[in-house]
């Protein structure tokens, strides 16, 4: 691979040999300042001063051209190109993955913020959907059930509560079912009135305004080298899959 290194120009050979001197003259290691001064000095240098570097540059170029002109050189050059292509593709895939993760985190953050904003919208008690008979009973018995499951909350309480509700005699369920039916009738009567319908509409509009909205998928812009490169990676993967499928079909036909 050493033989595949592109030969340096006479200027860069001279620059590497005189870098420290140029930095001293400039009084800085700033790349732009040093490069500007070096370019100025090279232009002002005599043919005699440039001659050794031009000779070395020619020697390197001749050796490079001679090597890539051989079969071994061509093979090495192709291998280097393939390696660079693989490295570039891996880099693009890594960047695409990083971008995806970043976007997913941003979306998750936006969803959390939107959920909080929706909850913050004031809601008239009359617009709150009435609880079912089961949840009325569960709320009244939550503390008792929590003790029964060893102080555990959440799913354990819900699971035990559901089991107990199913086993509860109809006589004990009835008061909750009657209350649930009464609350539901009152709710439906209210939202059926002009006042209730207007209040419900205003609430829905307020929550819709702050709710999370999916962003439309953006088309890859071909004039963007980075995005175009990412698209090529996807196309290459898709193309490989299509080729494999064609080969499989051809084999089956044979």
In this structure, which topology does domain 2-68 adopt according to CATH? Answer: DNA Binding (I), subunit A (1.10.30)
Instruction: Note whether 191 and 197 are within 8 A (CB).
Output: yes
| Closest by CA position to 158, among listed 134, 181, 133 | 134
Residue-wise pLDDT tens digits, 177-218: 999 999 999 999 999 999 999 999 998 999 999 888 887 765
- Can you tell me the mean pLDDT for 12-17? 95
Looking at residue 217, what is its pLDDT? 64
Structure tokens at 39: 């370019």
Looking up tokens 């699971």 gives 159
What is the spatial distance between Cα 196 and Cα 117, in angstroms, rounded to a whole number?
Answer: 23
pLDDT digit string, tens, across residues 69-104: 999 989 988 988 898 899 999 999 999 999 999 998
Model-level pTM? Answer: 0.48
Judged against a pLDDT cut of 70, whether residue 230 lies above it is answered with: no
End-to-end CA distance of the chain: 43
Burial state string for 122-148 with b = 16 or more CB within 10 A and e = fewer than 16: eeeeebeebbebbebbbeebeeebbee
CB atoms within 10 A of CB 177: 15
Q: Per residue in 17-43, pLDDT tens?
A: 999 999 999 999 999 999 999 999 999
Q: Residue 38: which residues within 8 A CB-CB, separation 6 or more?
A: 15, 18, 19, 22
Length of the chain: 254
237 pLDDT tier (thresholds 50, 70, 90):
very low
The number of angstroms, rounded, from the C-alpha of 97 to the middle of its chain's C-alpha atoms is 6
123-210 folds as: DNA Binding (I), subunit A (1.10.30)
pLDDT for 234 beyond 50: no
What is the distance between the alpha carbons of residues 65 and 53, in angstroms, rounded to a whole number? 18
Listed as own residue / partner, the contacts of 92-99 with beta carbons closer than 8 Å and 24 or more positions apart are 92/229, 92/230, 92/232, 92/233, 93/233, 95/226, 95/230, 96/230, 96/233
């Amino acid at each position: 691979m050493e033989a595949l290194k592109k030969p340096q120009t006479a200027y860069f050979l001279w620059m590497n040999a005189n870098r420290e001197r140029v930095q001293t003259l400039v009084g800085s290691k700033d790349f732009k300042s040093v490069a500007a001064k070096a370019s100025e000095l090279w232009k002002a240098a005599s043919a005699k001063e440039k001659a050794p570097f031009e000779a070395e540059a020619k020697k390197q170029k001749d050796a490079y051209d001679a090597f890539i002109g051989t079969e071994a050189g061509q093979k090495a050059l192709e291998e280097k190109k393939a390696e660079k292509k693989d490295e570039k593709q891996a880099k693009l895939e890594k960047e695409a993955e990083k971008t995806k993760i970043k976007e997913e985190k941003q979306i998750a953050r936006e969803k959390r913020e939107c959920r909080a904003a929706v909850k913050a919208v004031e809601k008239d008690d009359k617009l709150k959907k009435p609880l079912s008979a089961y949840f009325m009973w569960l709320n009244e018995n939550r503390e008792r059930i929590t003790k029964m499951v060893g102080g555990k909350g959440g799913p354990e309480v819900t699971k035990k509560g559901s089991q107990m509700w199913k086993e509860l005699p109809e006589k004990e369920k009835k008061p909750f079912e009657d209350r649930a039916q009464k609350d539901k009738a009152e709710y439906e009567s209210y939202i059926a009135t002009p006042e209730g319908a207007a209040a419900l509409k205003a609430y829905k509009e307020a929550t819709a305004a702050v709710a999370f909205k999916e962003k439309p998928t953006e088309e890859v812009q071909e004039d963007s080298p980075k995005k175009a490169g990412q698209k090529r990676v996807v196309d290459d993967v898709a193309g490989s899959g299509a080729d494999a499928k064609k080969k499989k079909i051809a084999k089956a036909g044979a």
